[in-house]
Structure 1
């Protein structure tokens, strides 16, 4: 396993995601190999845990929707490859679900440390419960943290992906509770002239808040 970013540096929003090469249930992979695609990297503190099992199943059931949005799902757990294989086989036998995306091993916890999911000298993996949305240029666009007691919302990660992709590709923001097809926010003006022009626009409630009708999926 190789990780190219100093583990003492915790990446933040808009930083380049730490690259790594590691074994996975789909063979050896590196994060940089997915440049040109969006990546959702989500991590687990160990295999055969009930909450994490439910998350793998939930992501598997929505995997085609992520693929349609040009997003590669990558799961990570600190256990080794053979434990991963046994876990996925257990899921197949007991839940009749195939996990179609790679599950990466991280027994040294180097990847977890590089992504800031646990203190540098920690010997416990309990905080390895992060989710990182990475854009096609390898830049971190969203980070979420979850306690070991609480499962992720896969539908929220889908919504977040579509919202961030919208703003990535066009000059729009998305309001609270936005769903694809909802109205989008036009960014507020940055000059006094722009603010005055917006004040004259009776369709906006005020100069800083103006929306535009969104487009529903075909």
Structure 2
């Protein structure tokens, strides 16, 4: 595994996810050893026992089987103690029946939040914004989302983006606006005259123009 270069900039798409060790609700975890051969969705929330965060964490928890079906592990984070995390997990389970059965990082020293740019000073210097990092099995960051403290995330979009990344990797294609599983995908543009002529002759493609063509995929297992 590549060793990430430590800089003062936030991680970017294409970077190797910064490694760390942290105490979580599932015990101590070294990130580079977590979820081997799997994708990881690493996400932060501002604080335990808060309304929007409770709805979001409940959303991740109730839809965890959908992430598992996409070979993906969940990992949360906030700048709270592990005791606060455990109390919150139990409180939500008692009141709603929803169980946050994934590790939540206790980032009291803000080490991981700073490492991943989850602290946005103009929003808050002590609470993490609602960041989402999509990290592939090679521990490369593939997509990043940031939301402010007062706007909850969209779980459908998180799952849609995750599936789009995986299908794009598998079939070497791209996804158009508003793509959902089952929709046509965009095939790469031709890079030579031979490829251009082959495309023009391919009746299986939906051709908007020579550089923009779509196709159906076979069912994805």
TM-score surpassing 0.5?
A: yes
Q: Is residue 45 of structure 2 the alignment partner of residue 44 of structure 1?
A: yes
Contact 1:196–1:207 (CA<8 Å) still a contact in 2? no
Number of the residue aligned with 1:204 = 207
Contact 2:78–2:127 (CA<8 Å) still a contact in 1? no
Name whichever of 126-135 and 4-13 sits farther off. Answer: 4-13
Unaligned runs of 5+ in 1: none
Number of the residue aligned with 1:78 = 79
Number of the residue aligned with 2:21 = 21
Number of the residue aligned with 2:162 = 161
Cα displacement (A) at 1:44: 1.1
Number of the residue aligned with 2:184 = 183
Between the aligned partners of 1:155 and 1:214, the Cα distance in structure 2 is: 21
Distance 1:95 1:166, change over 3 A: same
**Which secondary structure state, in structure 1, belongs to the residue aligned with residue 208 of structure 2?**
coil
Q: Is residue 123 of structure 2 the alignment partner of residue 136 of structure 1?
A: no
Cα displacement (A) at 1:183: 1.0
CA distances 1:95-149 after superposition (whole Å, capped 9, x unpaired) = 11111111111011110111122269x9723453210000000000000000111
* 1:84-163 equivalent positions in 2, closer than 5 A: 84-118=85-119, 124-163=125-164
Cα displacement (A) at 1:65: 0.8
Contact 1:7–1:110 (CA<8 Å) still a contact in 2? no
Between the aligned partners of 1:136 and 1:9, the Cα distance in structure 2 is: 23
CA-based RMSD of the aligned residues comes to 2.1
Between the aligned partners of 1:52 and 1:5, the Cα distance in structure 2 is: 32
Give the count of matched residue pairs: 214
Cα displacement (A) at 1:217: 5.6
